[in-house]
Chains A and B, each alone.
Chain A
Amino acid sequence: MTDTAREQVAPQTIQVTVDGTPVPAVPGELVIEVAERAGVYIPRFCYHPRMEPVGMCRMCLVEVSGPRGFSLQPACYVRVADGQEVRTSSPKAAKAQEGVLEFLLVNHPLDCPVCDKGGECPLQDQALSHGPGESRFVEEKRHWEKPIEIGPLIHLDRERCIQCARCTRFAAEVAGEALIDFAFRGAHIEVAPFPERPFSSYFSGNTVQICPVGALTAAPYRFRSRPWDLEQVETTCVTCSVGCRVAAQSSAGRLVRYLGIDSEPVNQSWLCDKGRFGYEAVHATNRVTRPLVRRAGELVEARWAEALREVAAGVRQSDQRFGPGGIAVLGGARLTNEDAYAWSKLAKSILRTDHVDAQLGDGLPAELVLGLPRATIDDAVHAKALIVLAPDLREELPVLYLRLRKAAATVPVIECSTVPTALSEVAHVRCGYLPGEAQRLAGALVGDGSIEEIPGADPAEIERARAVLSALSGEGSDAAVGDGVVIVLGRPSLAEDARSIAGAAALLQRALPGARFLSVLRRANVHGALDMGLAPGILPGRVGLEAGRQWFEAAWGELPSDRGRDARGILEAAASGELSMLILLGADPIADFPDAALARHALEQVDLLVAVATHRDASNELAHVVLPVAGADERFGSTTNLEGRVTRLAPKVVPPGVAWPAWSVAAELARTLGNDLGCSSIETLSREISRLAPAHRGIDLDQLSAPERRDGIVAPLAETPVTLLGRRDGTSPRPIDPMATPGIFSVEEQGAPLGAGTALPVGGSGRRASSPEGARPPLLALGGLEALGLGGGAPGRLDAYSFRLVLRRALYDHGTLVQASLSLRGLAGQAVLAANPHVLEQLGVQAGDPVRCKSERGAIEVPIAPDASLARNVVVLTANLDDGANALVDAGSPVTDVRLETLA
């Protein structure tokens, strides 16, 4: 709603008077919004600027002039009219507000001393500022059983509820799943889930943040702290690549809470529960706190110097055996940009290896991600059409799902997916396809490719999708074809080779040259890691190895001569003894690489396996040296989200034991090798990136520290002119929803005043003194794609006895982060194999019966579950749910076909 209000700001303005001050307004704006702009705070409970107004609490009653004089109206519901006069604190308005508060307090238990909200409670605050001060109610208040668990993470104290419907509206309107609603009536009204159907939404934590009283509390935070004991910083959630802005709050040196901050271009105040409660992993018991080295088969604690010497010795040994190509670096998608840059520099200029990959075979080729024209989330939600070729975004990038879901009300969404996703429900068209056929489907959508006989696809759906696209090309003749189309691009299934998706992307790009792409790779800073050159053939700032060679060699020294291997290549080489040393940068390939057997074999084969890690995991169990590093909420630096938006990270707690920031591990390792990485602090690194990396010119930590740039800067600056809006829309002196940002307000007051920012001039801070000579290398463009031999790899025919495997991901899985968070670990679902009910019938098994699922690579036993939305020739498994589903995938083949057997 604020979006639309903002769009219309130009046209016609009217005059409204608020408490005697004339304020220009736009027809359609709410009285409360206009008053806000005039600096007048109207008390409120139910009004939330990100949801439709309902006017149900009546706290915002003010006097509004109309044809018949002044009357009391809810300011959050009434829209302004020209010449209108509003009185927010006249005796009549004040009396009405007092009256509403007195009624609200009639049944309120006033158990503030034992209420989590006490001290940051809008009801307390507004009772003080607008309430009667005394109650006349002497009767018995209503009583309920105190708190009941309405969901695995959420407790409800019905006595405290003031029936504002913020939580129920959030569930229905924003999250799109009304798992809670009001039940009963009058004094008996209560927020309730359906019996036996708990409020287990991925977004449930938001209801706690927006509840204006202590009725909803989150299990992980209950009774952990008092608001006045909290310290906080503003930072970015690094659980996934959406990069939601958050306030990380701690008490007595431990993180206790995350709150969503309203970042207009990104999360618009919402968070997912994994991001919100995942901070528990920071204090988990399986953190690596000291360097570990393997002695007599056991990992034992060591001093840093000893551990680094061990690694250095491995480097020298590898150089002797293989020359520079004997070392590979895997991972880095959970580092900061500065960490990633330091490791990229170490790998490419000192270890002289290009066998570097931040992705674990579960993403897309780096050239593609970096080379395609990029879209922001705002571009996507305002697109003329959205083509979504991606996995289930609710499972992988929850808050992006929320934004796209909302957009689907106005933007036609064409979803191309192997199985239905949460977005299918709101998509205009869903084009299903059999894994492996993405490229042909794309051809049919935009080219003259035949729409018949694409396995798994319905010609009628393709027809409808084509109609959407051709309706667009009719408009504005000189615009490039596809202008205004945004393509959301990811891996719909991990068991479908990335080449097929890359091929589809290349086709779409050629047919729709005006279209932009939003990459939906999942890991937190994977886009930053790729930007910083943690990929084969890539150098920092989105340049190719050859294009950037001269520029970077002038600054860094000699670079590897050839393009290196990607994750699959690295693991294959390691498995066949062609690598001597493998460094894992926070990566757990055994759990995350789609082909588990290959990953394990590779890790066992190398002479020296070094893990740079925050937590112990399956892969670093096998390591010879484990080096502890600072993780989320423990480090300075910046991170890059899926739009290419760079935001500043801030630490809230100190790293455990002797863990270092990952960049200083790189710097120290360089020193141990008798070299110098040339970076002594995070600031010098940041400036070096801004100076050398072409796409990051002018973006450094100083820039990001400015209050008006806390929503980040989209790289590269010059190419994506964006208006950088503060979380206040630039006109209001208050945070957008003061009800839901308890405690943040005080931080904002201490910071510099906020306002609407503007895009920075290219060149930024002007520290360019020592850039290398010569022209900056050009950014990667898609031109090189065909040269890379992407696309192709058509799958074989599916034989009549086999099923094609779809390997999906779930938000809560057996990954390190979820399992290290006490509140989340139990939420990981049971591993099941989903199949059409017809398949169960054919096999003669019941739901829940175990079946054997066999591929060329391996076999697993897993219970079967019917799912009528699936085609009869596919089966679906979920990665990383302890069933070893990734043991089935053959990373070398375009698709994975499996057979099912019953267990006698």
Chain B
Amino acid sequence: MAALTPENFERARAIVALYPKARSALIPLCHLAQSQDGWLTPEAMEDIAALVGVTPAEVRGTASFYDMLHTEPVGRHVIAVCTNIACMLGGAYELLEHAEEHLGIAVGQTTADGEFTIEEAECLAGCDTAPCVQVNHRFFGPLDAASFDALCERLRSGELGGDVPHHGTLCRVERAVGLLATEGERGGDER
């Protein structure tokens, strides 16, 4: 939990070099930093600012715009419960309420053991499996109270480790810019 590691700093430089304007690398670098710590630490945001030539306030301004980027610490598993129309009709609010009760936290909060954060999300494009949730951007649905509890159990036990890497892990960015040759290096279904 800190600034970019030397290894990631080098990766970041390589990403910056891919763009005609350094500033364009801002969001890819936010993902990189988030994959390191699970969220964007102030130190990492300062590093990013220096790398792309903007101020830390601008990095935070940009990052905080996006729901997928977190500027505050989150749990190892960020559970985003969709409450948009298809899911709502399928019982999303009941699911959300159950989730809050089951984990003992409100939307936006993190469990004391640092395992789970609950978020409320707009349509995740998983309407066919409504009501659905994303855990660290991996899809699960349709869910009801019982299957939600079971999911939490499996997440907690690490049983889903391969499918659901820790929060922030995104292979797509690096793959898209050619920094990650082989899939599966990090694993996980990313759609």
Task: Give every chain A residue within 8 A of B71 (Cβ-Cβ).
Answer: 183
The chain B residue with its CB closest to the CB of A193 is B57
A186 to chain B, nearest CB (A): 9
- Tell yes or no: A196 within 8 A of B by CB: yes
Residue pair B65, A178 in contact (C-beta under 8 Å): no
- Tell yes or no: A192 within 8 A of B by CB: yes
Task: Give every chain B residue within 8 A of A179 (Cβ-Cβ).
Answer: 55, 57
Q: Kindly supply a per-residue 1/0 record for chain A positions 184-195, scoring 1 wherever the CB is within 8 Å of any chain B CB and 0 otherwise.
A: 110000001111
Give the CA-CA distance A80 to B60 in the complex, in Å. Answer: 37
Q: A184-B65, A192-B61 are in contact. Are A178 and B42 (CB under 8 A)?
A: no
- Tell yes or no: A182 within 8 A of B by CB: yes
Task: Give every chain A residue within 8 A of B58 (Cβ-Cβ).
Answer: 172, 178, 181
Residue pair B57, A178 in contact (C-beta under 8 Å): yes
Residue pair A183, B60 in contact (C-beta under 8 Å): yes
The chain A residue with its CB closest to the CB of B46 is A194
Residue pair B64, A194 in contact (C-beta under 8 Å): no
Residue pair B42, A194 in contact (C-beta under 8 Å): yes
- Tell yes or no: A180 within 8 A of B by CB: yes
A187 to chain B, nearest CB (A): 13
Task: Give every chain A residue within 8 A of B59 (Cβ-Cβ).
Answer: 194
Q: Kindly supply a per-residue 1/0 record for chain B positions 31-56, scoring 1 wherever the CB is within 8 Å of any chain A CB and 0 otherwise.
A: 00000000000100110000000111
Give the CA-CA distance A185 to B56 in the complex, in Å. Answer: 17
Residue pair A195, B42 in contact (C-beta under 8 Å): yes
B126 to chain A, nearest CB (A): 22
Give the CA-CA distance A178 to B58 in the complex, in Å. Answer: 7
State which of B57, B60, B64 has its C-beta within 8 Å of the C-beta of A185: B64
Q: A184-B65, A185-B65 are in contact. Are A194 and B60 (CB under 8 A)?
A: yes
Summed over the interface, the residue pairs from A and B with CB atoms below 8 Å come to a total of 43
Residue pair B64, A183 in contact (C-beta under 8 Å): yes
The chain A residue with its CB closest to the CB of B54 is A178
- Tell yes or no: A553 within 8 A of B by CB: no
Residue pair A192, B55 in contact (C-beta under 8 Å): no
Give the CA-CA distance A185 to B63 in the complex, in Å. Answer: 10
Residue pair A181, B55 in contact (C-beta under 8 Å): yes
Task: Give every chain A residue within 8 A of B45 (Cβ-Cβ).
Answer: 194
State which of A177, A183, A195, A196 has its C-beta within 8 Å of the C-beta of B61: A183
Give the CA-CA distance A179 to B45 in the complex, in Å. Answer: 14
Task: Give every chain B residue within 8 A of A183 (Cβ-Cβ).
Answer: 60-61, 64-65, 71
Residue pair B55, A178 in contact (C-beta under 8 Å): yes
- Tell yes or no: A197 within 8 A of B by CB: yes
State which of B46, B54, B60 has its C-beta within 8 Å of the C-beta of A192: B60
A161 to chain B, nearest CB (A): 14
The chain A residue with its CB closest to the CB of B66 is A185
Give the CA-CA distance A75 to B84 in the complex, in Å. Answer: 37
Task: Give every chain A residue within 8 A of B62 (Cβ-Cβ).
Answer: 181
A656 to chain B, nearest CB (A): 42
Give the CA-CA distance A192 to B61 in the complex, in Å. Answer: 8
Give the CA-CA distance A192 to B55 in the complex, in Å. Answer: 12
A390 to chain B, nearest CB (A): 25
The chain B residue with its CB closest to the CB of A190 is B64
Residue pair B61, A182 in contact (C-beta under 8 Å): yes
Of listed B45, B54, B59, B64, residue having the most chain A CB within 10 A? B64
B177 to chain A, nearest CB (A): 26
Q: How large is the interface on A (under 10, 10 to 19, 20 to 34, 35 or more residues)?
A: 10 to 19
Give the CA-CA distance A301 to B55 in the complex, in Å. Answer: 54
Give the CA-CA distance A184 to B70 in the complex, in Å. Answer: 11
Task: Give every chain A residue within 8 A of B55 (Cβ-Cβ).
Answer: 177-179, 181, 194
Task: Give every chain A residue within 8 A of B61 (Cβ-Cβ).
Answer: 181-183, 192
Residue pair A197, B56 in contact (C-beta under 8 Å): yes
Residue pair A184, B54 in contact (C-beta under 8 Å): no
B56 to chain A, nearest CB (A): 4
Task: Give every chain A residue within 8 A of B42 (Cβ-Cβ).
Answer: 194-196
Give the CA-CA distance A184 to B46 in the complex, in Å. Answer: 18
Give the CA-CA distance A196 to B57 in the complex, in Å. Answer: 10
Q: Kindly supply a per-residue 1/0 record for chain A positions 155-183, scoring 1 wherever the CB is within 8 Å of any chain B CB and 0 otherwise.
A: 00000000000000000100001111111
Interface residues of A in 174-224 (CB under 8 A from B): 177-185, 192-197
Of listed A178, A179, A180, A192, residue having the most chain B CB within 10 A? A178
Give the CA-CA distance A398 to B45 in the complex, in Å. Answer: 29
B62 to chain A, nearest CB (A): 8
The chain B residue with its CB closest to the CB of A188 is B64
Task: Give every chain A residue within 8 A of B54 (Cβ-Cβ).
Answer: 178
The chain B residue with its CB closest to the CB of A197 is B56
Of listed A182, A193, A196, residue having the most chain B CB within 10 A? A182
Give the CA-CA distance A718 to B25 in the complex, in Å. Answer: 55
Give the CA-CA distance A172 to B57 in the complex, in Å. Answer: 11
The chain A residue with its CB closest to the CB of B59 is A194
Task: Give every chain B residue within 8 A of A177 (Cβ-Cβ).
Answer: 55
Residue pair A194, B56 in contact (C-beta under 8 Å): yes
A166 to chain B, nearest CB (A): 15
B145 to chain A, nearest CB (A): 30
Interface residues of A in 798-853 (CB under 8 A from B): none
Give the CA-CA distance A178 to B65 in the complex, in Å. Answer: 17
Give the CA-CA distance A193 to B59 in the complex, in Å. Answer: 11
Give the CA-CA distance A184 to B67 in the complex, in Å. Answer: 9
A825 to chain B, nearest CB (A): 26
A340 to chain B, nearest CB (A): 43
Task: Give every chain B residue within 8 A of A181 (Cβ-Cβ).
Answer: 55, 57-58, 60-62
A664 to chain B, nearest CB (A): 51
B3 to chain A, nearest CB (A): 14
Give the CA-CA distance A162 to B38 in the complex, in Å. Answer: 33
Give the CA-CA distance A197 to B54 in the complex, in Å. Answer: 14
The chain A residue with its CB closest to the CB of B67 is A185
Task: Give every chain A residue within 8 A of B65 (Cβ-Cβ).
Answer: 182-185
Give the CA-CA distance A182 to B62 in the complex, in Å. Answer: 8
B152 to chain A, nearest CB (A): 28
A54 to chain B, nearest CB (A): 15
The chain B residue with its CB closest to the CB of A184 is B64
A165 to chain B, nearest CB (A): 11
Give 19 pairs: A residue, B residue, CB < 8 Å, sorted on A.
Answer: A177-B55, A178-B54, A178-B55, A178-B57, A179-B57, A181-B55, A182-B61, A183-B64, A183-B65, A184-B64, A192-B57, A192-B61, A193-B57, A194-B42, A194-B46, A194-B55, A194-B59, A194-B60, A197-B57
The 3 closest A-B pairs by CB, nearest first: A181-B61, A194-B56, A194-B57
Residue ranges of A at the interface with B (Cβ–Cβ < 8 Å): 172, 177-185, 192-197
Residue ranges of B at the interface with A (Cβ–Cβ < 8 Å): 42, 45-46, 54-62, 64-65, 71
Q: Known A-B contacts: A180-B57, A183-B64, A194-B57. Give 20 more (CB < 8 A).
A: A177-B55, A178-B54, A178-B57, A178-B58, A181-B55, A181-B58, A181-B61, A181-B62, A182-B61, A182-B65, A183-B65, A183-B71, A184-B65, A192-B57, A192-B60, A194-B42, A194-B45, A194-B55, A194-B59, A197-B57
